[in-house]
């Protein structure tokens, strides 16, 4: 029975357009239960963030000595000025580095992925599946397996401890290619490509005017996810970089944390720094919300 | 569907990968540092120096002002075992590393094994500097032969930090002078105040090693062309059995990691009452349990036999000239200045909390004063005395990382009642052998 | 940990677009090279070459001549290092631990994500936007920072949660030897549930209204609609989130590293990835490389087996 329902569902799906949201007639009780569950889940997800906000405002002794969920002596201003003045403002530098690695890296990476994914979806050539397979295999490789040999190779060409050593590997996203291929196949109709070609457009122009345009909501999604992956990357900078002026923010915070036993004032700075460092990410996500939520469904709007 | 594509595609991954990896091949590396002639080049040089001592950049700035022809750039990194050694080792493997680096005593041997150190014994001023440092620290830099592979920076002679108020409360009026007395004190303290006498940190294998050092239980012997592993020596077992009894009888806290906020909270609320630790630890307590000011005091480390004066050492670093440096003479000159110049030593002590390895450091004004946090006690008198008693023969192995790892993994089990500290020594002994063999080092039976 | 966005209504022809190619082959056949190359070159340099390098390294060992600090040479050693990997009880235990972790954590997380997605999908409340963002927020927090925050919330001495539980008569040591694995699982769940929830939610939103009309004709209630229609339709999305969660589980690294600093119960071989990293730290590159290769192979076998078995059973 469920099989037939599902079958009918997919048949209907094939013909229907997405329209207004459903209204399954639910009892108030069911809605009430649903709301309670949703609120409990929200508390679970927000409590640690609340903790971070509260404790970023405290003094070092209060961080250890006062209740973690309650505000104590308000010291946020002092923490912030300490944070940004420590070691000649290195924190800001780390933040800009992270923006550079993640922002530019994700932008370049998304573009490369889009091209490759588009080609894999829209051109047929010998060895295409083998190539796709090889790229997908990249998703499976553990980060440690990659980072160490990469360091040794980079060292031979003198690239370690440079911006490039973190930036270059970051632009490669096999996963982005995988997504691009799906999105290109789903959202770029062959008819449009052919029509553009008949108009005499070059292959590049077809890609830019038809491919990129139709894939754009999906590309925002790919961009954002790659942005987060690079922003959160910890192992690669750990292995590649020695000079603190090249570090991204996560590694910088980690290094402060590792010095806490020698200099306890770093503890509160780590907490405040953590809060400050997640703000750009949250802002980016909120600002681009419309796009990435559209991107998530892009493949299915047909 | 896509999933089927994915399934099929994944199935082919190994094949494609294998064919994508054409040939290969590796080349030999290695080669030993030599005590070749060491002369300054006479030109302007630039050096890079890796360190994780807070404030070291200011000390170096002082040097740079005085030595326009030898300019040093500081790279501040996370602590050695928190990633920096890794990075340096990788750099050695690949042939890119800084000129100088802070390296802890226990890791010197590992660096030498990876061909990472320069023998600076022939560099100007180095040979004459021997007398300026505590005996054992200089001994450590020789690594069993006639070379000098680093300049001692600071050391960590050990003593007992204890909560005087809690000890008094438990009726312990004089600090325990022997480990047996310490054990009795632990029982009294637990009964009277509910506090643990100390914590047994799972990750601080080098803390435990400091205690082995005091007992004269050297972990290794460099025996001619072979390494002898003595991790599981009778002396070491005695120390292990002692602490095992403390664990078994629930006299030490087993769930507190060293240098963790939990530990600091335990110090603050009085549930842990003492810490056998190094000279540099005075600021750890002062800064992390600030509200207990005036309640702490420092005493000699308890002895294994009444009347002994054996001291242990925990931590401390050297400044080493790495093998990749093109300017060993200038680098050695800087390293010597950094660790003997009174002005530099004073700054390092003030900003970085270092207890200098240079004997002149004992005369630093800051180390002669009474410390308010410790009730005005001149605590460095205790450490100065200990520094003179540290066994000079204690030897680290060239694969200490693995030895430490095996130890702290064993501690995990022992602290959970799934093994004992004696088992830990046995495991650490065999792990050390294996890792030496993996490095191709000849091991004596 | 990466995951995938899978359209609920996948295009059946995407796997083989070749059938539909109608363009002029003479021109387009070469054009793909220009599109693929800019990705392929860095891919080969930064993925394929290092992997080959690691494989090569795993087949070697170090020998030394001339005493303790003598000259080291690298020799071909065949599969010797692999023998060592498989006979290392620490490695086996670590693999067992992450498998246990995966078997419990992945279903719990995805079940949780599915539940939240279904709830959000069937309630039209205005608050939904807020909920979506609240659930997704943890994903934006770097693993290092997430682990640091939770470390404070787990701390027996500092955590207000532990204190509250204690006052309520429940004494839990989140960092104990029996609990630490699940405390780490909680951090991972906290971080990635919202992300997976969004993917499933997007798939749900893509189900057109007419499907529900069909269900109504059949007289299906809300629960039954959810179970018989929605879940089967988002199954592809679920399977893919599962695959990538499995991959992430086997590579567990950051959280154990951070928890090592506060708990006495995270040994150096807690997870295979941590062990490989620590082995490399001890300068045993050949062994570390062999571990990484074994780990990559295991990841591949697991994820492809999972894919194959689910695709058969689900009849997709």
Q: Report DSSP letters for B228-240, one per residue.
A: EE-TT-HHHHHHH
Return the beta strands (E) in A185-254 as ranges: none
Q: Which residue did the predictor score with more confidence, C18 or A246? A: A246
Say yes or no: B181 and B143 in one domain: no
Say if residues B158 and B210 touch (Cβ distance below 8 Å).
Answer: yes
Q: B198 contacts in C (CB within 8 Å)?
A: none
Q: Report DSSP letters for B16-32, one per residue.
A: HHHHHS-----------
Say yes or no: B77 and B130 in one domain: yes
Number of structural domains (chain B) is: 2
Q: Which of A20-24, A121-125, B398-402 comes out lowest in average pLDDT?
A: A20-24
Does B202 lie at the interface with C, CB-CB under 8 angstroms? yes
pLDDT of B14 higher than 70: no
pLDDT band at B32 (very low <50, low <70, confident <90, very high): very low
> Between chains, do C4 and A34 touch, taking CB under 8 Å as contact?
no
pLDDT of C311 higher than 70: no
Say if residues C58 and C276 touch (Cβ distance below 8 Å).
Answer: no
Whether residue B330 is contained in a domain is answered as yes
> Between chains, do B257 and C48 touch, taking CB under 8 Å as contact?
no
Q: Which residue did the predictor score with more confidence, C66 or C286? A: C286
Q: Which residue did the predictor score with more confidence, B302 or A153? A: B302
Per-chain mean pLDDT for chain B: 89
Residue B63: predicted pLDDT: 97
| pLDDT tens track for C116-168 | 999 988 776 667 888 988 898 898 888 888 988 898 899 887 888 988 898 88
Mean per-residue pLDDT, C62-77: 86
Say yes or no: B294 and B426 in one domain: yes
Whether residue B435 is contained in a domain is answered as yes
Mean per-residue pLDDT, C200-228: 79
Mean per-residue pLDDT, A91-110: 95
State what percent of residues in chain A have pLDDT above 70: 86
Token duo for residue B389: 């008693």
| pLDDT tens track for A50-59 | 999 999 999 9
Residue of B nearest to C67 (CA): B225
* Interface mutation vs chain C, best among A42, A56, A98, A140, most C CBs within 10 Å: A140
Long-range CB pairs of A26-32, under 8 A, 24+ apart, other chains included: A26/C122, A26/C123, A26/C222, A30/C222, A31/C123, A31/C125
Which of B13, B50, B352 shows the shortest C-beta gap to A136? B13
Residue B7: predicted pLDDT: 58
Residue B8: predicted pLDDT: 56
Say yes or no: B321 and B285 in one domain: no
Put simply, the chain B residues between 206 and 265 with a CB less than 8 A from any chain C CB are 222, 224-227, 254-257, 259-262, 265
Say yes or no: B290 and B430 in one domain: yes
Question: CA dihedral in degrees (A242, A268, B298, B391; nearest 10)?
Answer: -10
Say yes or no: B282 and B186 in one domain: yes
Mean per-residue pLDDT, C199-227: 79
Say how far apart CA C231 and CA A181 lie, in whole Å. 25
> Between chains, do A149 and C35 touch, taking CB under 8 Å as contact?
no
pLDDT band at B279 (very low <50, low <70, confident <90, very high): very high
Does B146 lie at the interface with C, CB-CB under 8 angstroms? no
Helix (H, G, I), strand (E, B) or coil at C123: coil
pLDDT band at A104 (very low <50, low <70, confident <90, very high): very high
Helix (H, G, I), strand (E, B) or coil at B277: strand
- Distance, C-alpha A160 to centroid of its chain: 25
Residue of B nearest to C61 (CA): B438
Residue B394: predicted pLDDT: 93
pLDDT band at C10 (very low <50, low <70, confident <90, very high): very low
Say yes or no: B183 and B250 in one domain: yes
* Interface mutation vs chain B, best among A58, A62, A64, A164, most B CBs within 10 Å: A64
Say how far apart CA B205 and CA B411 lie, in whole Å. 8
> Between chains, do A45 and C194 touch, taking CB under 8 Å as contact?
yes
Mean per-residue pLDDT, B369-397: 93
Say if residues B386 and B301 touch (Cβ distance below 8 Å).
Answer: yes
Say how far apart CA B338 and CA B396 lie, in whole Å. 25
Say how far apart CA B161 and CA B288 lie, in whole Å. 14
Exposure on the CB side of residue B440, measured as CA atoms within 13 A: 21
State what percent of residues in chain C have pLDDT above 90: 30
Say how far apart CA C224 and CA C230 lie, in whole Å. 9
Token duo for residue B297: 């005091």
In which domain, by residue range, is B411 found? 158-313+393-444
All domains of chain A, ordered by start, with CATH? 29-74 (no CATH), 89-298 (1.10.3720.10)
Whether residue B276 is contained in a domain is answered as yes
**What CATH number is associated with residue B339?**
3.40.190.10
Whether residue B122 is contained in a domain is answered as yes
Mean per-residue pLDDT, C169-175: 87
- The helix or strand, by DSSP H or E, that contains position C173, with its residue range, turns out to be none
Say yes or no: B302 and B431 in one domain: yes
Q: Report DSSP letters for B348-377, one per residue.
A: HHHHH---BSBGGGGG-HHHHSPBGGGTTB
Q: Can you tell me the ipTM of this complex?
A: 0.84
Whether residue B166 is contained in a domain is answered as yes
Say how far apart CA C257 and CA C249 lie, in whole Å. 14
| pLDDT tens track for B113-138 | 988 999 999 999 999 999 999 999 99
Say how far apart CA A151 and CA C289 lie, in whole Å. 13
If you ran DSSP here, which 8-state letter would residue B163 be given? E
Tally A–C CB contacts below 8 A: 350
Say yes or no: B181 and B286 in one domain: yes
Q: C73 contacts in B (CB within 8 Å)?
A: 28-30
Q: Which residue did the predictor score with more confidence, B404 or B32? A: B404
Mean per-residue pLDDT, C103-125: 89
pLDDT of A26 higher than 80: no
Token duo for residue B213: 């050092």
Q: Which of B188-192, B201-205, C81-85, C225-229 comes out lowest in average pLDDT?
A: C225-229
pLDDT band at C43 (very low <50, low <70, confident <90, very high): very high
Whether residue B93 is contained in a domain is answered as yes
pLDDT band at C108 (very low <50, low <70, confident <90, very high): very high
> Between chains, do B442 and C68 touch, taking CB under 8 Å as contact?
yes
Put simply, the chain B residues between 273 and 292 with a CB less than 8 A from any chain A CB are 280, 283-284, 287-288, 290-291
Say how far apart CA C120 and CA C132 lie, in whole Å. 8
Say yes or no: B218 and B99 in one domain: no
Say if residues B323 and B117 touch (Cβ distance below 8 Å).
Answer: yes
Say yes or no: B99 and B226 in one domain: no
Say how far apart CA C211 and CA A12 lie, in whole Å. 6
All domains of chain C, ordered by start, with CATH? 81-314 (1.10.3720.10)
Token duo for residue B44: 């302007």
pLDDT band at A142 (very low <50, low <70, confident <90, very high): low
pLDDT band at B330 (very low <50, low <70, confident <90, very high): very high
Say how far apart CA B294 and CA A184 lie, in whole Å. 70
Which of B26, B269, B409 shows the shortest C-beta gap to C74? B26
Whether residue B185 is contained in a domain is answered as yes
Token duo for residue A161: 């401890």
Q: What is the pTM of this model?
A: 0.84
Q: C264 contacts in B (CB within 8 Å)?
A: 201-203, 254-257, 411-412, 415
Say how far apart CA A287 and CA C140 lie, in whole Å. 13
- The helix or strand, by DSSP H or E, that contains position B44, with its residue range, turns out to be none
Whether residue B304 is contained in a domain is answered as yes
Say if residues A150 and A238 touch (Cβ distance below 8 Å).
Answer: no
Say yes or no: B172 and B265 in one domain: yes
Top mean pLDDT of A243-247, B224-228, B245-249 is at B245-249
> Between chains, do C39 and A116 touch, taking CB under 8 Å as contact?
yes
């Amino acid at each position: 029975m469920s099989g037939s329902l599902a079958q009918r569902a997919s048949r209907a799906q094939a013909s229907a357009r997405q329209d207004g949201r459903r209204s399954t007639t639910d009892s108030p009780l069911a809605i009430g239960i649903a709301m309670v569950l949703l609120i409990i889940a929200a508390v679970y997800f927000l409590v640690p963030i609340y903790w971070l906000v509260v404790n970023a405002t405290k003094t070092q002794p209060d961080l250890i000595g006062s209740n973690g969920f309650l505000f104590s002596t308000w010291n946020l201003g002092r923490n912030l000025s300490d944070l940004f003045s420590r070691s000649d403002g290195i924190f800001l530098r780390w933040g800009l580095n992270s923006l550079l690695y993640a922002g530019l890296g994700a932008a370049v990476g998304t573009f490369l992925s889009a091209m490759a994914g588009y080609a894999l979806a829209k051109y047929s050539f010998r060895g295409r599946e083998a190539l796709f397979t090889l790229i997908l295999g990249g998703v499976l490789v553990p980060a440690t397996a990659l980072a160490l040999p990469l360091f040794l190779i980079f060292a031979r060409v003198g690239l370690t401890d440079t911006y490039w050593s973190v930036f270059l590997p970051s632009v490669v996203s096999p996963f982005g290619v995988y997504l691009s291929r799906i999105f290109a196949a789903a959202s770029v109709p062959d008819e449009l490509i052919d029509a553009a070609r008949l108009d005499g457009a070059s292959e590049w122009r077809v890609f830019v005017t038809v491919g990129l345009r139709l894939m754009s909501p999906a590309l925002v999604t790919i961009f954002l996810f790659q942005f987060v992956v690079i922003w959160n990357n910890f192992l690669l900078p750990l292995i590649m970089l020695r000079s603190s002026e090249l570090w991204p923010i996560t590694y910088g915070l980690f290094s402060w944390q590792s010095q806490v036993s020698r200099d306890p004032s770093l503890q509160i700075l780590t907490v405040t720094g953590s809060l400050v460092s997640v703000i750009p990410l949250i802002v980016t996500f909120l600002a681009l919300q419309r796009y990435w939520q559209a991107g998530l469904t892009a493949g299915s709007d047909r | 569907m896509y999933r089927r594509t994915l399934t099929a595609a994944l199935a082919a991954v190994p094949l494609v990968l294998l064919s994508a990896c054409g040939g290969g091949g590796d080349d030999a590396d290695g080669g030993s540092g030599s005590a070749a002639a060491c002369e300054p080049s006479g030109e302007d040089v630039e050096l890079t120096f890796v360190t994780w001592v807070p404030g070291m950049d200011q000390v170096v700035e002082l040097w740079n002002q005085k030595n326009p022809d030898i300019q040093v750039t500081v790279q501040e990194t996370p602590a050695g075992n928190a990633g920096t050694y890794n990075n340096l080792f990788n750099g050695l493997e690949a042939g890119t590393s800084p000129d100088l680096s802070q390296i802890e005593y226990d890791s010197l041997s590992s660096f030498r094994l990876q061909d990472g150190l320069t023998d600076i014994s022939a560099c100007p001023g180095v040979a004459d500097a021997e007398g300026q440092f505590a005996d054992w620290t200089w001994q450590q830099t020789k690594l069993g032969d006639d070379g000098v592979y680093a300049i001692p920076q600071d050391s960590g002679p050990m003593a007992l930090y204890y909560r005087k108020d809690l000890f008094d409360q438990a009726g312990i009026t004089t600090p325990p002078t022997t480990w047996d007395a310490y054990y009795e004190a632990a029982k009294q303290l637990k009964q009277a105040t509910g506090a643990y006498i100390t914590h047994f940190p799972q990750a601080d294998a080098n803390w435990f090693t400091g205690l082995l050092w005091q007992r004269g239980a050297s972990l290794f012997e460099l025996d001619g062309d072979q390494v002898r592993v003595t991790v599981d020596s009778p002396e070491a077992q005695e120390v292990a059995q002692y602490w095992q009894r403390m664990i078994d009888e629930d006299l030490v806290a087993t769930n507190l990691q060293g240098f963790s906020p939990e530990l600091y909270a335990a110090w603050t609320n009085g549930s842990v009452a003492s810490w056998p630790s190094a000279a540099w630890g005075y600021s750890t307590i002062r800064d992390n349990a600030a509200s207990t000011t005036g309640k702490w005091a420092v005493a000699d480390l308890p002895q294994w036999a009444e009347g002994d004066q054996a001291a242990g050492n925990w931590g401390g670093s050297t400044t080493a000239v790495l093998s990749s440096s093109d300017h060993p003479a200038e680098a050695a000159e800087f390293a010597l200045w950094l660790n003997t110049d009174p002005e530099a030593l004073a700054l390092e002590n003030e900003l970085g909390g270092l207890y200098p390895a240079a004997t002149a450091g004992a005369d630093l004004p800051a180390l002669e004063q009474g410390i308010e946090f410790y009730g005005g006690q001149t605590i460095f008198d205790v450490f100065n005395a200990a520094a003179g008693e540290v066994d000079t023969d204690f030897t680290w192995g060239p694969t200490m990382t693995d030895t430490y790892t095996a130890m702290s993994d064993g501690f995990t089990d022992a602290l959970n009642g799934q093994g004992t500290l004696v088992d830990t020594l046995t495991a650490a002994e065999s792990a050390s052998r294996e890792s030496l063999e993996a490095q191709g080092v000849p091991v004596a039976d | 940990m990466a995951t995938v966005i899978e359209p609920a209504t996948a295009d059946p022809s995407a796997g083989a677009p070749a059938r539909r190619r109608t363009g002029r082959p003479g021109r387009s056949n070469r054009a793909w090279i220009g599109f693929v190359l800019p990705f392929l070159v860095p891919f080969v340099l930064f993925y394929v070459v290092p992997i080959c390098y690691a494989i090569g390294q795993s087949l070697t060992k170090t020998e030394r001549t001339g005493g303790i600090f003598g000259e080291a040479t690298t020799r071909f050693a065949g599969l010797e290092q692999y023998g060592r990997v498989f006979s290392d009880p620490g490695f086996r235990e670590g693999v067992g631990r992450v498998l246990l972790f995966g078997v419990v954590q992945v279903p719990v997380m995805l079940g949780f994500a599915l539940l939240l997605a279904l709830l959000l999908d069937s309630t039209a409340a205005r608050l939904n936007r807020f909920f979506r963002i609240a659930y997704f927020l943890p994903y934006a927090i770097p693993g290092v920072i997430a682990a640091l925050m939770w470390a404070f919330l787990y701390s027996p001495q500092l955590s207000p949660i532990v204190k509250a539980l204690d006052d309520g008569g429940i004494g839990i040591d989140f960092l104990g030897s029996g609990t630490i694995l699940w405390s780490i699982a909680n951090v991972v769940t906290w971080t990635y549930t919202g992300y997976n929830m969004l993917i499933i939610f997007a798939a749900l939103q893509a189900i057109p209204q007419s499907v529900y009309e069909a269900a109504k004709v059949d007289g299906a209630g809300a629960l039954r609609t959810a179970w018989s229609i929605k879940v089967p339709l988002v199954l592809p999305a679920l399977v893919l989130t599962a695959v990538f969660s499995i991959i992430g589980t086997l590579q567990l690294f950051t959280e154990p590293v951070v928890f090592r600093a506060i708990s006495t119960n995270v040994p150096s071989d807690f997870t295979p990835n941590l062990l490989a990293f620590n082995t490399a730290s001890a300068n045993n590159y050949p062994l570390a490389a062999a571990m990484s290769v074994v780990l990559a192979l295991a990841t591949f076998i697991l994820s492809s087996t999972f894919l194959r078995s689910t695709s058969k059973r689900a009849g997709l």
